[in-house]
Structure formats: structure tokens, C-alpha cells
Chain A
């Protein structure tokens, strides 16, 4: 299995809602990532988990809360989001977090905040 899967594909939520994005990989990778991508822009790194521990938090607002329950799963909990948080949220994984490893990306979750 060489896939990174993400659910849901689309999500519409109000500013007072709580929702979660899910990501799963079964490639035995030990590093997982969340990126945010606005339209016609490159992905921006949000969080990195290495061996299930948060290793990078790129000054992301606390309304985004990552969680790595095990080495195959990565969640992103959303609460009190703003309309400007609407974007494509991409999950990725790699063998480990060393810089020579390519990252494998999921198809993304298209998030719309009303």
C-alpha cells in the first residue's frame, strides 16, 4: 500500500463548529505532516510528527490542534475557525523526518469555513 488517505474530501463548517480531519498511511512511515494550501499558492507546512511526537509547529494558531494516535494515523482537530482558514489541507508522510526522504501526499481535504 503506497497511499496516503484523507477524510473527508470536503468539509463545510461554521465558525463555532468543532470538526476533525483524518489522515492514514500504511507504508510504515514514521514521519507525518500537515500542510495548508491556499488557491494557486504552494503548500505551507503546519506540523510535523516524528515517531508520533510533535517535532515542528510552525506558529500555527491554537484553533488547529494536531494529534498522532499511532504511527499510521494523524488527525487535525479544528475549533472556532475563521473564514480565512478555508483552504486545501494536505497530509503527507515520509520514511522518517530526515531531509533526504521524499514525502508522499494524500489528496487533501477541501475545507470551507462559513
Chain B
């Protein structure tokens, strides 16, 4: 089974400061990890993913995430926050054992509200 934990319901950051949104995961095989962002009354937008290779992954809108296998974490980061970054952020995982149409789909964390204050 696969699971994702986002320990913070809400993160508040001042504009221009660095931000971190936390995510930890649990899988039986190797993890495929994703970050999505959702603006109010909208669908989810893909930000970035980790499949293999370099632990630091760069994505859309200046976001990046660091994969840490020993801590089973995949925290989302941005060096300088913008007010427009305010949204709901979801971490998601799929297990490498989910081979094309297998039993496990994409599992999401509960989401973290990111609020950037001007």
C-alpha cells in the first residue's frame, strides 16, 4: 500500500521569503513522487515529479523539491515566495510496483494551504 502525509494544514510565509511545504511518503517499492497545485474552484496543475536520479528536482514557477530516501520525504521549496503562490498544494505518490493499470492509482496527501502575505 502507498500513503502520503502532509503534516501542515497551513503554511504562512511573507512575500520574498523562502517557503517549504512538507511531505513524507510510504511505499513498498520505489516511490514516484509528484507535487500538484490547486487554485480555488480549479483542477490540479502539475508542478514537478521525482522518478529517479538527482535528488533535487526543479519544476514550474520556480518551485523545486528535494527527495530524501532516508527520511522518506519530498519537501517542496521555493527561494522567494510570491503572493500569487497562495494556493492548495498536494503531494502525491505512486508505487513502482503499480505497473501500468495495476491496483494502485495516484494517492494524494490531504493538502497544505500556502498563504503568502504581502
Interface residues of A (CB under 8 A from B): 4, 6, 31, 33, 40-43, 45, 48, 50, 55-56, 58, 88, 90, 92, 96-100, 102-108, 110
Contact = CB atoms under 8 A, between A and B. Distances in A.
A59 to B, nearest CB: 12
Contact of A107 (B43, B49, B107): B43
Given A105-B36, A110-B41, 12 more contacts: A4-B43, A33-B106, A45-B105, A55-B101, A56-B101, A97-B101, A98-B100, A99-B100, A99-B104, A100-B32, A105-B44, A108-B41
Interface of B: 32, 34, 36, 41-46, 49, 51, 90, 94-96, 98-111
Given A48-B101, A90-B43, A97-B101, A42 B32 contact: no
A102 B34 contact: yes
Given A90-B43, A100-B32, A106-B43, A42 B101 contact: no
A105 B43 contact: yes
A81 to B, nearest CB: 21
B44 A100 contact: no
A54 to B, nearest CB: 9
Contacts of A56: 101, 103, 105
Given A42-B109, A42-B110, A100-B51, A107 B42 contact: yes
Contacts of B98: 99
A76 B49 CA distance: 28
B101 A99 contact: no
A92 B94 CA distance: 15
A107 B49 CA distance: 21
Contacts of B36: 105
A103 B98 CA distance: 15
A99 B95 contact: yes
7 contacts: A42-B90, A42-B108, A56-B101, A96-B100, A97-B101, A102-B46, A105-B44
A4 B44 CA distance: 11
